[in-house]
């Protein structure tokens, strides 16, 4: 862009830009081109005068960078007027109906019926569609109620019903939009553009034009717009939006970065590997938005009941006319129904509660699971990564049958390094700490799910894994290890067996410290109404018993393979329990799927995160309590709303049938109660999570 300096004082730079008058230049587009510059504090552009005001940190380098940017920056394209959204349309409709109702006393009486009919046309159209499709639903009931009011010349009543119905529709759409906005804000990747290095120059592109393989440039204070790997540069990146980590993480060449994370210091050139809807942040948002379709049982029942009530409203209206002969009373019955409030309040309460849990970094994948978590009375907990820190360390190494300690650790590390499991990482890390080099000497590595790893070393089969795998499956004599195994078990350590050529080569004791808040978490679970807590672990009986005793858990299952974990969950379900399963490993995924509600930590295996119904982004035990508190409060809100709807509308219906109140009064009571429960359903968006109990 061509510019002229109007004002240049320390910390303040005002420029006159030479821009075309037509078409008008997008103000936001101009300002956005300077906001990512280090040292820039505020940017303001006036399309009317064509002046750009930039406040900065008074550094000469910042001033020069601003002038360099304005010289190279392209003129942003004109932003086309966007079409009105459904929410905006409903807002306009509701406001227009309300204003017409308020202005009614000023409208000449002959015009009022015309205005009432005109305002009700959308309701009549929906009713006509329902009639054509032979459906006795709420649309037909609403149209009949408004039509009955007009037939009895209650035009004010018809206008009031129309206004309240439109207000209810706007309220519902606004709540859905507010919930989605909250999710977008949580994982927002910043401005909808990115700086990309193409054809030897740095250019600014709309985010939708960035493709895989592009080199994206992100500077101090900028948000990373893509998932990718660092090509060049060093930076401290705040990843709290995705991982919850409070401290920034150092990123350098070869490391991965994610969309929506922010650079607090430094700058990076990033090779884009996932863009747009494929980024991790976008997938999280899509997961929650998809959760709207997974309805809670109470929501499905409420909506089904709401539809079933409609025919009875018509029947009661007809009986009222037959008994009383009063068309006014008959119309008043149609003006009161339970369906509208039930269909509005229950899904809103569920949706806002899902958004509330997401705000607390707990992703619940649907109302169905929200409800089941609230009803859960048994928790099955996998030990590793749930009750422990998931940061195991090698506590000891024992060798047998002429093999050396260094050989055992070296060969175990050599095969374990191929698998990103916390225990495998602990073995590899221990070898590195002791300076043991474990160059590739083995043949292809075979992973046996939930058992261990097997390979070949100089023609001999080498196996690393559980006692069941080494002793029972591979037939290796492990009797010499018994004294050491008991010692390790008493300390709460897990044991890896290492065998070569059919002989026991050694043992590796693994210590995975218990979470500091595990005892408090278990106590809180029981206080919240959980009747049964079961611990599952792949450890041997003695180790499992020691850990269970430390945590005060009465029931545990040692050496639990994936099939056994599923059996435990199924047995509890057969006993009548609603089971929540918490796990994070590959071997936990079958049990997570079997449970009524599966809960996985963010650090878990990809398959576990996919199989779960609740994903804890921060991976803390408090998140489980948060999820349960949100779900229980959501179900209490649904029940409270239901009781209010039944009580208020039953009273209004009684007034209508007996003629104790005019139709307009019954209609007002009914519609105001609908709006009341709708507003109450918004409470989860404004509340903090209360006590878990």
- Which tokens sit at 332? 């008043």
Chain centre to alpha carbon of residue 257? 20
User: In angstroms, what CA-CA distances link 22 with 25, 29, 48, 629?
Assistant: 8, 16, 12, 56
Q: State how far Cα 263 lies from the chain centre.
A: 23
Q: Is 610 exposed, middle or buried (0-12, 13-18, 19+ CB in 10 A)?
A: middle
CA distance 360 to 689: 8
Task: Judge whether 603 and 590 are in contact, CB under 8 Å.
Answer: no
Rounded to whole angstroms, how far apart are CA atoms 263 and 248?
A: 8
Catalytic residue among 36, 191, 337, 382: 382
Radius of gyration of the chain, Cα coordinates, nearest whole angstrom:
33
Q: Return the bridge partners of 594, or none.
A: none
Asked whether 223 and 190 are in contact (CB, 8 A), the reply is: yes
Task: Give yes or no for a contact between 226 and 277, defined as CB atoms under 8 angstroms apart.
Answer: no
* Distance (Å, whole) CA 16 – CA 38: 22
Place of tokens 């078409």: 23
| Pick from 98, 171, 138: nearest CA to 678 | 171
Question: Which pair of tokens denotes residue 642?
Answer: 């239901």
Q: Quick check: helix, strand or coil at residue 615? A: strand
How many Cα atoms sit within 13 Å of 385 on the Cβ side? 23
Assess contact for 342 and 638: CB atoms under 8 A. Answer: no
Sequence-ordered list of residues with C-beta below 8 angstroms from that of 82, at least 6 positions apart, any chain: none
Which residues, listed in sequence order, are joined to residue 509 by a DSSP beta bridge? 396, 495
Contact criterion met (CB below 8 Å) for 392 and 512? yes
Other CB atoms within a 10 A radius of the CB of residue 340 amount to: 24
623 is catalytic: no
Cβ proximity of 601 and 347 under 8 Å: no
Contacts by residues 642-646 (CB-CB < 8 Å, ≥ 24 positions apart): 642/302, 642/342, 642/345, 642/346, 644/673, 644/676, 644/677, 644/680, 645/338, 645/341, 645/342, 645/345, 645/673, 645/674, 645/677, 646/338
The 8-class DSSP code of residue 386 comes to I
Longest dimension (CA), the chain: 108
CA distance from start to end of the chain: 61
Residues in the chain: 693
Catalytic residues: 382
């Amino acid at each position: 862009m061509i510019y002229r300096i109007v004002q240049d004082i320390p910390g303040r730079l005002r420029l006159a830009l030479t821009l075309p008058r037509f078409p008008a230049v997008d103000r936001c587009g101009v300002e956005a081109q300077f906001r990512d510059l280090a040292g820039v504090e505020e940017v303001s552009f006036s399309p009317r005068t064509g002046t750009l005001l930039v406040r900065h940190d008074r550094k000469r380098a910042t001033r020069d960078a601003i002038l360099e940017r304005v010289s190279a920056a392209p003129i942003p394209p004109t932003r086309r007027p966007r079409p009105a959204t459904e929410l905006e349309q409903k807002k306009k409709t509701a406001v227009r109906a309300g204003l017409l109702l308020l202005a009614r006393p000023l409208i000449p009486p002959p015009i009022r019926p015309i205005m009432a009919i005109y305002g009700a046309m959308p309701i009549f159209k929906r009713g006509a569609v329902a009639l054509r499709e032979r459906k006795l639903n709420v649309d037909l009931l609403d149209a009949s109620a408004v039509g009955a009011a007009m037939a009895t010349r209650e035009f004010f009543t018809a206008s009031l019903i129309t206004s309240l119905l439109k207000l209810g529709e706007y309220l519902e759409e606004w709540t859905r939009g507010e919930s989605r906005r909250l999710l977008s804000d949580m994982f927002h990747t910043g401005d909808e553009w990115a700086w990309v290095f193409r054809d030897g120059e740095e250019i600014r592109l709309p985010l939708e034009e960035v493709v895989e393989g592009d080199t994206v440039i992100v500077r101090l204070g900028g948000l990373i717009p893509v998932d990718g790997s660092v090509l060049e540069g060093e930076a401290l990146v705040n990843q709290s939006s995705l991982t919850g980590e409070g401290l920034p993480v150092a990123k350098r060449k070869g490391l991965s970065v994610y969309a929506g994370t922010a650079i607090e210091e430094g700058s990076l050139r990033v090779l884009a590997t996932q863009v747009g809807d494929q980024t991790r942040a976008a997938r999280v948002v899509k997961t929650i938005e998809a959760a709207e379709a997974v309805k809670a049982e109470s929501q499905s029942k409420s909506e089904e009941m709401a539809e079933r009530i409609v025919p009875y409203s018509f029947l009661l209206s007809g009986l009222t006319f037959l008994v009383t002969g009063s068309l006014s009373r008959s119309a008043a019955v149609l003006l009161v129904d339970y369906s509208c409030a039930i269909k509005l309040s229950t899904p809103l309460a569920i949706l806002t509660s899902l958004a509330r849990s997401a705000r607390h970094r707990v992703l619940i994948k649907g109302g169905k699971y929200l409800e089941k978590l609230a009803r859960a009375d048994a928790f099955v907990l996998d030990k590793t990564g749930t009750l422990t820190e998931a940061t195991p360390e090698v506590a000891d190494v024992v060798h047998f049958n002429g093999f050396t300690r260094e050989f055992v650790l070296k060969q175990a590390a050599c095969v374990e390094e191929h698998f990103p499991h916390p225990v495998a990482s602990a073995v590899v890390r221990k070898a590195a700490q002791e300076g043991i080099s474990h160059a590739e000497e083995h043949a292809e590595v075979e992973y046996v799910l939930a058992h261990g790893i097997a390979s070949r070393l100089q023609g001999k089969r080498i196996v690393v894994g559980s006692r069941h795998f080494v002793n029972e499956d591979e037939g290796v004599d492990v009797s010499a290890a018994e004294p050491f195994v008991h010692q390790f078990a008493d300390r709460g350590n897990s044991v890896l067996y290492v065998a070569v050529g059919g002989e026991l080569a050694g043992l590796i004791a693994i210590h995975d410290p218990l979470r500091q808040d595990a005892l408090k978490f278990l106590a809180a679970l029981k206080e919240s109404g959980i009747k049964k807590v079961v611990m599952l672990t792949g450890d041997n009986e003695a180790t499992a018993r020691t850990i269970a005793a430390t945590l005060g858990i009465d029931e545990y299952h040692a050496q639990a393979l994936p099939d056994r974990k599923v059996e435990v969950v199924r047995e509890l379900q057969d006993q009548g329990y609603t089971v929540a399963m918490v796990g994070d490993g590959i071997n936990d995924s079958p049990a997570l799927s079997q449970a009524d509600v599966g809960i996985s930590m963010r650090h878990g295996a990809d398959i576990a995160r996919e199989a779960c119904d609740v994903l804890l982004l921060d991976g803390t035990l408090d998140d489980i309590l948060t999820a349960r508190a949100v779900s229980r409060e959501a179900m209490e809100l649904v029940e409270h709303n239901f009781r209010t709807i039944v009580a208020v509308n039953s009273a209004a219906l009684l007034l209508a049938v007996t003629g104790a109140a005019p139709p307009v009064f019954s209609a007002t009571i009914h519609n105001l109660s609908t709006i009341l429960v709708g507003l109450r359903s918004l409470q989860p968006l404004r509340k903090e999570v209360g006590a878990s109990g």
